[in-house]
Amino acid sequence: MRLPLKAKFSGLVLGLVMVILVSIWTLSVYEQSKMERSIAEQQRSTMRDELTKRATNILAFLSANSEALAIGDYLTVDAFVRDLSTSPDIRFIHIVKDGRLIVPLQDGAPPRYQLPRGVKPAGGAMHFEMVDGAGVDSEPLIIVSGPIVDKTIRRRVAEAYVGISRLPVRDAIESAQARVKESGRIARYEFTFATLLFAILGVVGSVILVAFVLRPINILTRGAKIIGQGNLNHEVVVRTNDEIGDLAHTFNVMTRNLREDQVKLIEKQKLEQEIKIAMQIQQTLLPKSLPNAPGYSFGAVYGGAREVSGDYYDFLDIRSNGRPRIGVVVADVAGKGIPGAFMMAVTRSILRAQAPVSDSPAQVLKLTNGILQPDLKKGMFVSMVYGILDVQSGHMELSSAGHCPSLVYRAGSGSVETVRCKGIALGIGAAQLFERRIESKTVPLAPGDIFFQYTDGIQHAMNIEENRFGMDRLMACLREFNPGDAQSLVARILERINSFTAGFPQFDDITMVAIKRDRA
């Protein structure tokens, strides 16, 4: 059976109170009994001393009047003895001389003295004997014996035997003992009553004390239940300057931290959901498949340093005067995450809307910048390479809006050319400045040649020693991996980059596009 803490604590306090009270009661009863015995013994001792004193006085009186005994004036002595015997507790006074009872006087010659049973003959000093049954009706007596000395001649003239009843002494002692016992009984009763009263007060006090002590704990328990039900705004109020108060403060700090963590978790989950949606949108914006043009192979790789990237690539099917043309876009939005992805989507939409308007890449970028630039926030821009491939002639016309230079692998010489086009990024400066800076170049692709465009994430890819992948390694990859189609090329380059970085975290996106003209 589960006992609540209040019951356990109350039982502990009550048990402690009861042990203390019972111990005090037992000790008090013991001391009371001890005191009663001490008083009774003291009273008996006092009575014996009193009787002894009386007997001693009698012998002293007889010794003081020993002249009458010395001259044989027994009649005078008998008168003295009769006066002394008037005391109610004096049972006899016998004076013996030469073994004969001379006082009290007897008819005829003094008889030989018969000692009371259990009494020894008087010696040279006073002697006391407690004799039971020596008196009338077996009355217990105290018999005092001693010599009567004539101090004038300093000679023993007789012996005296004084019998004193013990009944008055015993009755007085028993009466005193009865009074002491009655007083003790009353004292024990009163103390027992006081003990019971204190026990009841202890029970009530322990309940009140336990309730007072456990009140903060109960508040903590109720607070824990409320918080456990999900109410993290609840605060436990315990105004005690002790460990429980410290515990309540710690509890509130923990709850506040949980509340803050919950808010952060909700925000994180919300952000993750937004990122997930943005990724889904971004994936829908990227080409679902590569172009299919006879005599060419296409390859593309897209990898964001974050879940949502600002890089993008695109292929556009452009036909002009019946000639098949393919638009190629590689862009890098200044910004990562959701803002970068949003700007990428806007840029893509504008570019796709302007691409059919003109066969000139430079003109398309001018139109795109004119629409995009007014709405870009300060510090945001888009670098881009836009090229149009004439499938029949193999000529690629390029324009760059501040993007990385293009690379062309020449199969005939095995070399890699760098194609740089002047231009500034979309969104930087006024439209007139952009239009003055932009230019186009035409790059012919012979059979086996490869056109390669990328974002700066490849150059900036870094390993654990903080060495960059760089352009030299990229060009070496083009020379090494040119056999095969364009998709295998970009895949092997990405594999080489991953091997170089060896899992070291990257902070820029990696996007690359390759177009290879098949050998005849």
Phi-psi region of 205 (alpha: psi -120 to 50; beta: other; left: phi over 0): alpha
CATH of 1-112+120-229, one of 3.40.710.10, 3.30.450.20, 1.20.1440.130, 3.40.50.1100: 3.30.450.20
Model pLDDT, residue 129: 81
- Return d(Cα 331, Cα 513) in angstroms, integer: 11
Q: What are the boundaries of each domain within the chain?
A: 1-112+120-229, 232-285, 291-517
At 198, list the tokens.
Answer: 């204190």
Report the sign of the C-alpha dihedral through residues 273, 274, 275, 279, in that order.
positive
Residue 91's pLDDT band (cuts 50, 70, 90):
confident
> DSSP class of residue 509?
-
Residue 307 reports pLDDT greater than 60 = no
- Return d(Cα 454, Cα 322) in angstroms, integer: 30
H or E element, residue 119: none
* Mean pLDDT on 45-56: 75
Model pLDDT, residue 398: 97
> Each residue of 442-457: pLDDT tens digit?
999 999 999 999 999 8
Over the chain, what is the mean pLDDT?
83
- Whether cis (ω within 30° of 0) applies to the bond prior to 147 is no
Q: What is the CATH topology of the domain spanning 291-517?
A: Phosphatase 2c; domain 1 (3.60.40)
The answer to whether the pTM exceeds 0.75 is: no
How large is the greatest C-alpha to C-alpha distance in the chain, in angstroms? 191
The letter for the amino acid at 244 is I
> Each residue of 233-255: pLDDT tens digit?
777 777 777 777 777 777 777 88
* Mean pLDDT on 291-314: 82
Residue 296's pLDDT band (cuts 50, 70, 90):
very high
